[in-house]
Structure 1
Amino acid sequence: MSTDPATDDAFTGAAPADPVARMAEAAARAYDLAAADRLVRRPMPTLDIVNERFLRHLRVGVFQLVRRGAEIAIAPVEVQGYADFLASLAPPTNFNVVALQPLRGHGLVVCDATLISVLVDALYGGACTLQAPMEGRDFSPTEQRVIQRLLGIVCTEYNKAWKEIYPLELAHVRSETHPQFVNVAAPADKVVVTTLKIAIGDFEGSVRICLPYGALDPIRDVLYGAQQAQAMAEDRRWVTALTREIQSAEVTLVAEFAQAELTVAQLLAMKAGDFIQFDRPARVVAAVDGTPVFACHYGTHSTRYALRIDECLRGDDPHWLGGSHDR
């Protein structure tokens, strides 16, 4: 039998007698080095909602830029190493460094050459059926101006998508064509990549938004916030329910056929059997609570008085309903 206490502790598994050793053993904890990587690769429900909003806004922005329909699709969010992201890009590629205000750090908005060529063709009246060769040369001044216009739209619409969630804004810092000048993250660092495919005519190009995961770490709870994503989904259900209830609400439609002007003396002098003369207008306006809604003709239908709608009245001003309806 061994008489060494240290040897006995090793075989029996008993706690060491030294208090310092016991405290050191109690403080030791197992740490999984891959745990952080698993956290990065978890789904980000809030970012998915942001991208859905961004997609809707960008469709309108691109249409206003080229004045023709564009098919835009967004790929699922990817989390990969920064070096792997750069290696996946085929030159020539336009890199735009953007600040992530109010967060620290920078991100990238990357436009490929195919998309720039298609946009230039569309803006200058082309049919988007030919692609100008761009290998072995830098972007021309005209192409750079088109890139800046597209970048402005991307940043503006992306900021709108974040507006109700977090005040994140992309602000352009500089543009580059060589990846070695856009080190927004270390090669081994993780980045969050959102890829948009934009098809115009016969060609399709891509816009990629690359955000370093380290820069997004201060809002990690927002990105992984299932409760916030669920609240937004519930909010959309509330809007749908409210829209359905509003559409089923009953309103009173009033059509004013004519107006006659009388003095007070004429009104007081009237008696039973008198007539009020007025001119019959060609069209009448039907209103709800004083708000003009339809321009109509009036007549009879199936032996009943009826209105035939000629035009739905709308206003360019978002407050066209009037001051009493702005609330």
Structure 2
Amino acid sequence: MAGSDVLSQAEIDELLSALSTGIVSAEEIKSEQKERKIKVYDFKRPDKFSKDQIRTLYMLHENFARLINTYLSAHLRTLVHINVASVDQLTYEEFIRSLPNPSVISIFQMPPLKGNVILELNPNIVFAVIDRLFGGTGVAPVKPRPLTDIEEAIIRRVLAKMLEGFQEAWKQVVAVEPRIGAIETNPQFAQIVPPSDMVVIITLQAKIGQAEGLINVCIPYLVLEPIMSKLTTTFWVALGTTKQVTQENITTLQRKLQRTSVPVIVELGRATVTVQDLLDLAVGDVLQLESRFDGELSVIIGQREKFKCKPGLVGGKVAVQITEVMLKGDENDE
């Protein structure tokens, strides 16, 4: 990511050159580290996310990384390793400038939260997936290029599965339903918020076979603003604890169960016949049942025999009188 506290490759080369030539010594660097450090604060881009909220987002997307790691490993049948590298907050303009061109930028929504979110995949990862799905070894081309229509259709399916993992990871905080919209290859055409708006960037380090690259999830602050209070470790841990069972909960559950309808069947009897006898049955034939006319009948609740009864009449209607309660099917036997 491009940022004020990140060195460019040219600055790193210059620093290494200074160390090798003796212009800057390792002792000077160590002495500078011991001095009191002053953190630079830019009032034009105030921090929107607390450290606790950043930590919660990190844990959420660790689960997301595990889910897509499992999916891609099984789908591509090759070695896949994905883990969360960092969670940073910066302006949307800084994020867009850090993306390669071309890239694969999926813009999706996550109702009921408003606004758009970006899932960006490095071209090396995308083409390794495509090559593997088309029967190759998973080698990305030397020079990245935009996706063809067929390749985009394939990647849409992969992205849809990845967003299922995103939905599963986020349900611990809020139930969202991610929906893919447009897929862009030029970062300049992916404008989901004004350039100066703050966003949180979750960066995943991905390795598929021999191909390596980054997967970035860009979530604007405006999208997360309604649920900022839920993005705390305390709230997240509280959701995972088991609710204490109280007498009030038990009474409510019993009351709901008592209003539940269940089928009640009185079985007059059973008979066993051959298929040939069944085919020869005609009007007037008599089937002899295994039960006696003066014996008890079975009362079946759902699929279990629960009572014994005797038939009779009540007010001109057929009825049964319970004579015995069967222990079979009791809750103690479950």
Q: TM-score w.r.t. structure 1 length?
A: 0.57
Question: Of 151, 169, 179, which aligns to 1:161?
Answer: 169
Counterparts of 2:76 and 2:178, CA distance in 1: 23
Q: Which residue identity does 2:51 align to in structure 1? A: R
List 4+ stretches of structure 1 deviating above 6 A: none
Q: Which residue identity does 2:124 align to in structure 1? A: T
Q: Give the deviation of 1:80 after TM superposition.
A: 0.8
Question: Of 93, 101, 117, which aligns to 2:127?
Answer: 117
Counterparts of 1:178 and 1:33, CA distance in 2: 29
Change beyond 3 A, Cα 1:124–1:221: same
Counterparts of 2:233 and 2:44, CA distance in 1: 19
Q: Give the deviation of 1:93 after TM superposition.
A: 0.4
Q: Which residue identity does 2:117 align to in structure 1? A: G
Corresponding residue for residue 104 of structure 1: 114
Corresponding residue for residue 51 of structure 2: 42
Structure 1 residue 195 corresponds to structure 2 residue 198: no
Counterparts of 2:50 and 2:238, CA distance in 1: 23
Corresponding residue for residue 77 of structure 1: 87
Whether the 8 Å CA contact 1:113–1:134 is kept in 2: the answer is: no
Whether the 8 Å CA contact 2:173–2:236 is kept in 1: the answer is: no
Task: Report the secondary structure of 2:195's partner residue.
Answer: coil
Corresponding residue for residue 227 of structure 1: 234
Whether the 8 Å CA contact 1:49–1:229 is kept in 2: the answer is: no
Whether the 8 Å CA contact 2:62–2:83 is kept in 1: the answer is: no
Change beyond 3 A, Cα 1:228–1:181: same
Counterparts of 2:208 and 2:194, CA distance in 1: 35
Change beyond 3 A, Cα 1:95–1:38: closer
Q: Give the deviation of 1:211 after TM superposition.
A: 0.7
Q: TM-score w.r.t. structure 2 length?
A: 0.55
Counterparts of 2:44 and 2:90, CA distance in 1: 16
User: Percent identity, aligned pairs only?
Assistant: 26
Question: Of 135, 141, 155, which aligns to 1:132?
Answer: 141
Counterparts of 1:203 and 1:174, CA distance in 2: 25
How big is the alpha-carbon RMSD for the aligned residues of Structure 1 and Structure 2?
Answer: 2.6
Whether the 8 Å CA contact 1:46–1:222 is kept in 2: the answer is: no
Corresponding residue for residue 184 of structure 2: 176
Counterparts of 2:236 and 2:44, CA distance in 1: 23
Counterparts of 1:35 and 1:114, CA distance in 2: 34
Correspondence 1:294-313 to 2 at 5 A: none
Counterparts of 2:42 and 2:158, CA distance in 1: 41
Q: Which residue identity does 1:71 align to in structure 2? A: H
Counterparts of 2:177 and 2:126, CA distance in 1: 24
Q: Which residue identity does 1:159 align to in structure 2? A: Q
Corresponding residue for residue 88 of structure 1: 98
Whether the 8 Å CA contact 1:94–1:110 is kept in 2: the answer is: yes
Whether the 8 Å CA contact 1:114–1:205 is kept in 2: the answer is: yes
Q: Deviations over 1:243-298 (max 9, x none)?
A: xxxxxxxxxxxxxxxxxxxxxxxxxxxxxxxxxxxxxxxxxxxxxxxxxxxxxxxx
Q: Give the deviation of 1:144 after TM superposition.
A: 1.1
Counterparts of 1:200 and 1:56, CA distance in 2: 14
Corresponding residue for residue 207 of structure 1: 215
Structure 1 residue 149 corresponds to structure 2 residue 154: no
Q: Give the deviation of 1:150 after TM superposition.
A: 2.0
Query: May I ask how many residue pairs the two structures share in their alignment?
Result: 203
Unpaired runs of at least 5, structure 1: 1-31, 236-323
Whether the 8 Å CA contact 2:58–2:84 is kept in 1: the answer is: no
Q: Give the deviation of 1:124 after TM superposition.
A: 2.3
Task: Report the secondary structure of 1:77's partner residue.
Answer: strand
Counterparts of 1:33 and 1:73, CA distance in 2: 30
Q: Give the deviation of 1:172 after TM superposition.
A: 0.6
Q: Which residue identity does 1:210 align to in structure 2? A: C
Q: Which residue identity does 2:235 align to in structure 1? A: Q
Whether the 8 Å CA contact 1:73–1:196 is kept in 2: the answer is: yes
Q: Which residue identity does 2:68 align to in structure 1? A: L
Change beyond 3 A, Cα 1:35–1:95: closer
Change beyond 3 A, Cα 1:89–1:56: same
Q: Deviations over 1:128-149 (max 9, x none)?
A: 3x432444x4212332123212
Q: Which residue identity does 2:78 align to in structure 1? A: R
Q: Deviations over 1:142-164 (max 9, x none)?
A: 32123212211221100011113
